[in-house]
Structure formats: C-alpha cells, structure tokens
A and B are shown apart, each in its own frame.
Chain A
Amino acid sequence: MSFAWFVALRYLRDARGQTTLILAAVTVGVSVIVFLSALINGLQASLIAATLGSQPHVTLRPPREAPRPVVAATPGHVIARSVQPASQRLRSIDQWPRVMDDAARDPSVTAVSPVVTGSGVVTRLDAHVPVVVRGVEPDRFIAIIDLPSRMIEGQFAIGAGRVVIGRDLAEDLGAAVGDRLRITSTEDVTDIVTIAGVFALGNEGVDGSWIVTSLPHAQALFALPGGVTAIEMKVTDVFDAAGVADDLARRTGLTADSWMTVNASLLSGLAAQASSKTMIQSFVVLTVALGIASVLIVSVVQKSREIGILRAVGTPAHHILLVFLIQGGVLGLTGSIIGSGLGMAFAKAFETVAVNPDGTPRFLVQVNALLLVQSTLLATGVGLLSAIIPARRASRLDPATAIRGG
C-alpha cells in the first residue's frame, strides 16, 4: 500500500471514535438525500403517471375561429368597428388523415389517434347528465389511453351501438353493463346505446363524464361525416411534449396543446417540490461538508507534531496533502455507500407503511442506480473538497515549529 494511503487509513482507524461519529454524520446525510430523492421522484412519477393515464401527451385541434369583418372599408369611408370574439363551432380538422400521417412520421411520436369529442346529455329514466362523448378508433385509442386495463365491469367493446362509460357517470345514471342510454348531442342528434363496460381512470372529471364510442358513431352524433375534431398523440419523452406540440403547430398551422400546457399548475407544483428537494439536499451536503472539514481540521491540530516528524524524516509536503485528502474521500465514500443502502431501506420501508386502504402502496418510491451513483459521487466529492483546507494546512506546517508543538 502506498505511504499516503497507509497513513491515512491508519489515522482513521486510530481515531475510531472520531471516525465513527463523522461516518455516522455522512451516512445520515446521504441516507436523507437518497430517501428524499426516492420519495419525491416516486411521488412525481406517480402524479405524472396518474395525470397522463387519462389524457394524451399532445392534442392537435383545428385553429380557433377568428372574427371576420362584415363590411370592408372603402376609399373615402371610415368604419367604426366593434370586434366581437367569434363563436367556436364544432368542426373537423381539414384533411386530417394527411395531418395524422405527417404527425406519425415524427420520431418523437409513438402513437396517434383521431377522435371526435363533443358534448351532449345522457338520459336514463329520470336522470339527465351532461357528458363528453369521445369517438375513437379502438386500436389507436388504447395505444394512448390504456382503457381495457382500467375496465372495472364489462369489456372495452365499442361500436354497433355499444359504448363504455366512466364509473361515476354509471353511478349518477344508476346504470350497469347491458343497460341502455339515450344520448342527445349538441347537434341535436339522438341515439340509443348499450353499455358494454364501465371504466375507472381515477380522474374524477373523466370518470364522471366520459362516454367512449366508435369514431363513426361520434361522427354521426355530431354531424361530422368523415371528420375528426382532434388528433391525439403519445410521445417518447413526456417532458418533450411541449416542444413536439410547438413543432407540430408550426408545421400544420393547427392548434397544438401539450399535457404540460393543460396541466401547468401541476408542473409548477412539481417544480416547487423539486426546488424544495434541492434546497434540503444542499443544506444536508453543506452540513456533511462542514462535519468532515471540522473533524479533519481538529485532526490536523492534534497530529501537527506527528506531521512535523513525518516531514522531518523526508515525507514530501504533497504526501501530507494526500493523507488528509484521502481521509476526506474515504469518509465521504464509505459514508455514502452505507448511507445509500440505509436511504434505500428507509424508502422501501416507507413504501410498505404508506399504503392505500386496499393495501397497495400510495406511490412507488423510485430508487435507481443513477441516484445511488450520483449520491456516492456527490458525497465522495464533498469529502474531498472538505478536506482541501485541512490538507493544505497540514502540508504547509513548518516541521520545526510543528515538532516543538507550536
């Protein structure tokens, strides 16, 4: 073993009490970082998954209708104009199959689904409930929202007068699989449908208002033969959705919304959460750094005479520097390895304690190898950085003064 390593490890072993205490401090610090990161990452992932479980990442719609002048100005005439916002009617995307094919060719887009979305009222016995009718192509739609896996009753079998509806809507209507409903659309088209299944996506708004039917059926209900009101998409990186939406809007001239725009308040909440996590982690890192630095500074003072002897017998100053840097690095590395394990154990324990009434975890904590590697590198780096001041002080000790105990 090289001289610097040997001396550093021997010093750490010799000062067992001191070493144990500072290792405990680093361990606790790193375990807090790992635990907190696992918890918040898990929470964020669950929130995003829950949010995106019932909505597409990007939605293309026809551009909003703009007001048009009724009378044009002519030379010699002045018009006092009053501009009123144009009313928005339900209309189809122009040449939507071409737009959809174009969007599908984008490498960031993994799935596309044409939909007709409109409002209506469903009637069953005495109940009249406002609903959102979603007409979809089943195969394309389930690539975006996995409805079959969320069926709590019946099956996801739409078309030929069969629809699936949300759980809360079913409750409001007092309906179950096999029951018949009367739908009246905003275009005043009425039809009778049979409930093929009931789903629960966990989103109150969706579960309380959605009726999912086939695309041709919705086209008929909203008097949009062959048309679609939106093209919904799924992208590879959910946080890239805004960029993909901007790009598609520019290319197609349509209105493109990403889930990030629609859920701006959720994202701002997640960002605030991430900031508080960073803040807490910074304070923990600072505390660990101060702990290591103070222990090593005390060690330099305690061992100044020994350092003087080492210098007197021919130890170069840079070896003394290394002795203390190694101590800082070893404390950081060892503490971070133990702390990562402990933090991971805490996170897993939390997962088993924080459960829903049905026994499933409220959310899955996210411990990944990258987080552990990052924490280990961070703590080792902090250990090394914290050791710089004491190490420099030790290496600059004047041997004669140090030996005298000055």
Chain B
Amino acid sequence: MAADAPLLRVERLTRDYGRPGQPVTRALAEVDFVLARGELTALVGPSGSGKSTLLNLVGLLDRPTSGRVLLDGCDTTTLDERALTQLRGRTLGFIFQFHHLLPAFTALENVLLPAWADEGRPSSEARVHAAAMLEAVGLGDRLHSRATELSGGQQQRVAIARALARRPPLVLADEPTGNLDTASSDGVFELMRRFNSEQHTTFLVVTHDARIADRCDRIIEIVDGRIRVDRRR
C-alpha cells in the first residue's frame, strides 16, 4: 500500500442496473473524487440520487459497471471475490442506519465479529481490544448484553465500536443517525469525530441530516448519480 497515495480514489465510477435487453437505469454516472486520510466527509443528496450505490461500490459490496475504486493505492476492480472480502475486512468498517447488530450475539461478540471472521478464532488481544472499544463508546458495563437488550443509541454505539474494532483506515457510515433522536444522534456523531481526531480514521458518512453534514470537514452532494457539489469547510 502506498503511504503517499490518497486513501480512496474513485475514477469515472458508473453503475447501471437492469437486465440484458431491458432499459438500463444509471444509478451512478462517471463519478470522480478522492478522499484524503483523516477526512470526515458527508455524502448528501436526495433519496435515489445514488448515495447508497456509491457507498456499496466504495465498500466493495458491489462491482461497478465501469470505472475504478482504488483503496489505499490498490485497484479493487482487478481483485477476485475472496481478495475483495479480505480487503473489505481489513480496510473498511461499516456503520448502517439500522445498526444491524446480530441479535443472537452479545455486544462484545458483535464487536469481535470482524476479527473472528478474519482470523477464524479471535485472539486474546482482539478480545481485550473489543472490550476497550466498547468502553470507549461508553458501554463498558454492557459487554455481555444481547444486542436486543440495548437501546437504539446503544446499539448504534456498538455498531461504531464494531466498525472501528480492527482499526480500519476508512469507515463507511450509511445514515448512522437516521434512526436516532437528536441527543443520540449528537452522541454518535461526537464519537465518530473523536475517533477521527484521535486515530485519524477517515469517515465517509451518508446523511440526510443537515446538522450532521454541516459539522463534517467536507460535503459531497450527489444528484441523479453525479456529483453536484464538493466543498470543504
């Protein structure tokens, strides 16, 4: 990985949907942008503008119709499924709107999942670190609570701890506060800002909340699958 390369480079990224022989829907049209390390960027735009499509492509959960995603200097379009999965597990953290914790697992087990999935068995160091992450998000006393026993704000904090547990350089957050009240939203954003400042984690945050977007370092606005505004504060 090239240390001097930008963390994320998106080049002429296009994603079409539709079956062969059917009319094509272009969700994303030749999008270009670069994310520098340590940026906290808001991705905004109306519903159906292509934000989630872009996040899925950047998150290596989907493949583009054309264009490239370069993550930490690595061209991801050339990788096979197995390599993509490995890269995703080690380089990216995800925070989803509906937090998407696994209800059958405890808070600690949910945070351990990425290490567990990658290493087969979580090391004792990973366990200690996962507990420390939960401590850091204010849930040190809920390590062994089932996900379903936690409030919405607490679940989202567990999701943040999970996303950051393996110290990924880039965290992708899909409306992380979309399902929370104002106080919980502020708490979640402050957590992201704290990790961004303290650990220089780069965040790309899809949000509809103008208050959250305004507190980010940079705002990228997408309309009809194209970048309309890209401004730094």
Contacts and interface: CB of A to CB of B under 8 A. Distances in A.
B169 interface: no
A283 B224 CA distance: 57
Given A313-B89, A315-B85, A316-B82, A14 B104 contact: yes
Interface in B51-77: 52, 56, 59, 61-62
A302 B128 CA distance: 32
Contacts of A399: 61
Contacts of A10: 104-105
A239 interface: no
Contact of A309 (B56, B100, B118): B100
Interface in A315-342: 315-317, 319
B103 interface: yes
Contacts of B45: none
A400 B56 contact: yes
B28 interface: no
A399 B114 CA distance: 15
Contacts of A309: 94, 96, 100, 102
Nearest to B62: A400
Nearest to A320: B117
Nearest to B166: A314
A54 B62 CA distance: 78
Contacts of A317: 81-82, 85
B113 A400 contact: no
A403 interface: yes
B113 A313 contact: yes
Contact of B104 (A1, A13, A313, A316): A13
B116 interface: yes
B23 interface: no
11 contacts: A10-B105, A306-B102, A309-B102, A313-B88, A314-B88, A314-B117, A315-B113, A315-B117, A317-B81, A319-B117, A403-B100
Interface of B: 52, 56, 59, 61-62, 81-82, 85-86, 88-90, 94, 96, 100, 102-105, 113-114, 116-118, 120-121, 162
Interface of A: 1-3, 6, 10-11, 13-14, 305-306, 308-317, 319, 398-400, 403-404
